[in-house]
């Protein structure tokens, strides 16, 4: 069993316990350790030597959308580059969809994640880009998770193509007013073709003034100011981090900001992977997340992201699992998920495998045997 509690088991970061048991009371973990030492319980369940891990914490996804961009993916795989503007394809389809269609699509994707072991998911708006469409997207996301993020600044929509400043005014004014009540976080796509450093700073600061906590899409498509801006505004996590300068790495190390790596994006856009090994060696904490979205990466699978992190980013299976569980929890400022220490949410996954290592060792194989969320299956 992986507890991610270094006080448990072998004393490693993963807190590995062999021949383990976990005791759950109501929706919380109350005890972990060797099964021979387990306190009496009303009911018990033997998982037959299978590995148990904390549920995955997917700290970055975009599940409120309609439409399909499989043709764009096919074009990309035959040579077309990825650009931020493709988002507008999904914006048009999302605006045209009914609330019921958006909610059903989101529920289907959350269920798909659950089957693959994800027990906590962050969900962003960002495919509405009008006051009403962003607010309804967040209201729908709120039904599935408390980790909702206002991403009105995903891209400048076509109707503001000649007036990006006017769009920033909309995002920081009426749109933020309509959305703040449904969101915990504020996010910006700080990238060439989307929002520059000054625009991004203004949006993050406006969100912070309304009680939202900042996070940022940064340095995905090239070098840029996003990572340092995230550190400047005190973001808990900055996401993508594919193209980093030495100054960016130093800023992350100094600020303690978590780098959330999204290797499914590099896989799905055929791009170079972020340097997970280098960041770990620089002392930076990492999270792994899916970035599940219809354009740049339509996987909902955290096991797949773990396999990519191990194969392509120089991370060990242990480092990748930690990043996909405890790292995600830290990136969301949650001390109750991503680990199985006493007091944690009873969110756990039983693998059809004897060890968590199989998540990377057996890529593409559905290894999740069962999942508990808050102690319930
Ligand atoms: Zn994203």
Q: How far is the CA of 262 from the centre of ligand 1 (A)?
A: 8
Q: How far is the CA of 27 from the centre of ligand 1 (A)?
A: 30
pLDDT in tens, 163-204: 999 999 999 999 999 999 999 999 999 999 899 999 999 999
Q: How far is the CA of 50 from the centre of ligand 1 (A)?
A: 33
pLDDT in tens, 120-132: 999 999 999 999 9
Task: Give the model's pLDDT for residue 110.
Answer: 98
Q: At what angle do helices 131-142 and 87-96 cross, to 10 degrees?
A: 80
Q: How far is the CA of 86 from the centre of ligand 1 (A)?
A: 13
Q: What number is the average pLDDT over the span 22-36?
A: 96
Q: Ligand 1 is a single-atom ion; what residues have CB below 5 A from it?
A: 291
Residue 294 binned pLDDT confidence (cut-offs 50, 70, 90)? very high
Q: How far is the CA of 60 from the centre of ligand 1 (A)?
A: 6
Q: How far is the CA of 291 from the centre of ligand 1 (A)?
A: 5
Task: Give the model's pLDDT for residue 272.
Answer: 96
Burial class of residue 11 (count of CB atoms within 10 Å of its CB; 0-12, 13-18, 19+): exposed
Pairing of the two strands 348-351 and 368-372: antiparallel
Residue 273, both tokens: 């992977």
Residue found by looking up tokens 């504020």 in the block = 186
pLDDT, mean over the chain? 96
Domain ranges, ordered by start, for the chain: 20-54+339-372, 56-331
Q: Is 4 left (phi over 0), alpha (psi -120 to 50) or beta?
A: left
Enter the CATH code of domain 56-331: 3.20.20.140
Q: How far is the CA of 377 from the centre of ligand 1 (A)?
A: 29
DSSP 248-293: HHHHHHHH-PEEEE-HHHHHHHT-PPP-HHHHHHTT--EEE---BB
Task: Give the model's pLDDT for residue 2.
Answer: 98
Q: How far is the CA of 174 from the centre of ligand 1 (A)?
A: 23
Q: How far is the CA of 347 from the centre of ligand 1 (A)?
A: 24
d(CA 5, CA 21): 14
Top CATH class of 20-54+339-372 equals mainly beta
Q: How far is the CA of 154 from the centre of ligand 1 (A)?
A: 9
Q: In this prediction, what percent of the chain has a pLDDT beyond 90? A: 93
Residue 367 binned pLDDT confidence (cut-offs 50, 70, 90)? very high
Q: How far is the CA of 208 from the centre of ligand 1 (A)?
A: 20
pLDDT in tens, 227-243: 999 999 999 999 999 99
pLDDT in tens, 35-83: 999 999 999 999 999 999 999 999 999 999 999 999 889 988 998 776 6
Torsion angles phi and psi, residue 78, rounded to 5: -115, 20
Q: How far is the CA of 217 from the centre of ligand 1 (A)?
A: 6
Q: How far is the CA of 311 from the centre of ligand 1 (A)?
A: 22
């Amino acid at each position: 069993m992986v507890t991610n509690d270094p006080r448990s088991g072998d004393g490693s970061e993963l807190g590995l316990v062999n021949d383990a048991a976990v005791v759950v009371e109501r929706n919380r973990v109350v005890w972990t350790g060797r099964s021979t030492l387990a306190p009496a319980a009303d009911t018990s369940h033997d998982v037959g030597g299978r590995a148990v891990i904390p549920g995955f914490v997917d700290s970055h996804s975009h599940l409120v959308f309609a439409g399909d961009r499989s043709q764009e993916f096919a074009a990309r795989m035959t040579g077309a580059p990825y650009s931020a503007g493709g988002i507008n394809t999904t914006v048009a389809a999302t605006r045209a969809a009914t609330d019921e269609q958006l909610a059903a699509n989101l529920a289907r994707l959350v269920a798909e994640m659950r089957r693959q072991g994800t027990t906590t998911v962050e969900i962003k708006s960002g495919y509405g880009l009008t006051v009403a469409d962003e607010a309804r997207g967040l209201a729908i996301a709120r039904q599935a998770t408390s980790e909702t993020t206002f991403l009105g600044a995903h891209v400048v929509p076509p109707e503001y193509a000649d007036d990006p400043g006017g769009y920033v005014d909309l995002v920081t004014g009426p749109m933020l007013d309509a959305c703040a009540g449904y969101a915990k976080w504020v996010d910006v796509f700080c990238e060439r073709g989307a929002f520059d450093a000054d625009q991004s700073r203004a949006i993050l600061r406006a969100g912070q003034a309304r009680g939202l906590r900042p996070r940022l899409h940064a340095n995905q498509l090239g070098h840029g100011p996003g990572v340092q801006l995230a550190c400047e505004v005190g973001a808990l996590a900055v996401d993508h981090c594919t193209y980093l300068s030495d100054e960016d790495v130093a800023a992350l190390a100094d600020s303690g900001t978590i780098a959330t790596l999204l290797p499914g994006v590099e896989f799905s856009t055929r791009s170079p992977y972020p340097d997970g090994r280098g960041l770990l060696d620089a002392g930076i904490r990492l999270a792994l997340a899916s970035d599940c979205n219809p354009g740049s990466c339509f996987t909902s699978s955290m096991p797949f992201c773990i396999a990519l992190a191990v194969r392509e980013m120089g991370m060990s299976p242990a480092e990748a699992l930690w990043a996909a569980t405890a790292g995600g929890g830290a990136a969301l400022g949650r001390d109750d998920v991503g680990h199985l220490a006493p007091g944690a949410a009873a969110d756990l996954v039983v693998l059809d495998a004897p060890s968590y290592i199989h998540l990377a060792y057996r890529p593409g194989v559905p290894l999740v045997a069962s999942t508990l969320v808050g102690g319930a299956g």
